[in-house]
Amino acid sequence: MENEIKKNIETYYNEKLKLHGATAKGVDWNGDQSQFLRFEQLSKVITKTSDFSILDFGCGFGSFIDFLKHNQYDNFKYVGYDISSEMLEEGRNKYKGNNIAFTDELAGISDVDYAIASGIFNVRLETKNDEWIDYIKSTLRDFNELATKGFSFNLLTSFSDKEFMKDYLFYAEPTYFFNYCKEHFSRNVALLHDYDLYEFT
């Protein structure tokens, strides 16, 4: 089932990339401003500004690199993981450096300090909610295994305006995932639901 989920998601995002190119809309965000606001929330898990490694899970073409550089993070090692080979090709063409790597092989990634994931749990398409929640939990367990210092992710909130909610998207109950993380991963968990997007981190 998980392989089928990933294949459907890969097809969805490849089509977005073909339609919009290597832009925020190419990874299904509204624009650069909202994308950087998401990155700002996700990056709060990073407790230092240099000499760290980070896994960008579902990296698209690697826009988080621009955020890191813009905010004066330096001497970091970036690993971008994505299931879309087309996204990865864009990333490799756009970002160069010995400290930057893109891959579609999760098994080949060694321990990193931090892991982040932006938007990867939003588009469930035809997957049933309970199966999607299981998929999210499985992925979070992967994060916990890979990241030695912390990880962050975002989800669309169930407190979104009903008239704007879409059937193919997944809207999560914030405290459900807060409690799951507290019970399974760490005493130190932050729930950020105070920024102007219909989501939480």
pLDDT, tens only, 100-119: 999 999 888 989 999 999 99
Lowest mean pLDDT among 26-35, 66-75, 149-158: 26-35
Residues 120-157 pLDDT 10s: 999 998 899 999 999 999 999 999 999 999 999 999 99
- Can you give the CATH number for the domain in which 193 is found? 3.40.50.150
- The number of distinct structural domains making up the chain is 1
Average pLDDT over residues 78-91: 92
- Check whether 24 has a pLDDT greater than 80: no
| Contact of 170 with 121, CB cutoff 8 Å | yes
Cβ-based neighbour number of residue 152 at 10 Å: 20
The mean pLDDT of 70-85, rounded to a whole number, is 93
Q: What is the pTM of this model?
A: 0.88
Maximum CA extent, the chain:
47
| Percentage, residues of the chain above pLDDT 90 | 72
Q: Determine whether 88 is exposed, middle or buried from the number of CB atoms within 10 Å of its CB (0-12, 13-18, 19+).
A: buried
* pLDDT above 90 (res 159): yes
- Is residue 141 a contact partner of residue 106, using CB atoms and an 8 Å limit? no
| Mean pLDDT to the nearest integer, 75-95 | 93
In the predicted model, what is the mean pLDDT of residues 175-180?
A: 99
Domain hosting 116: range is 2-200
- Across 8-140, the runs of DSSP E, i.e. the strands, are 53-57, 77-81, 100-103, 112-117
Asked whether 125 and 168 are in contact (CB, 8 A), the reply is yes
39 within 8 A of 62, measured Cβ to Cβ: no
Whole-number pLDDT of residue 25: 63
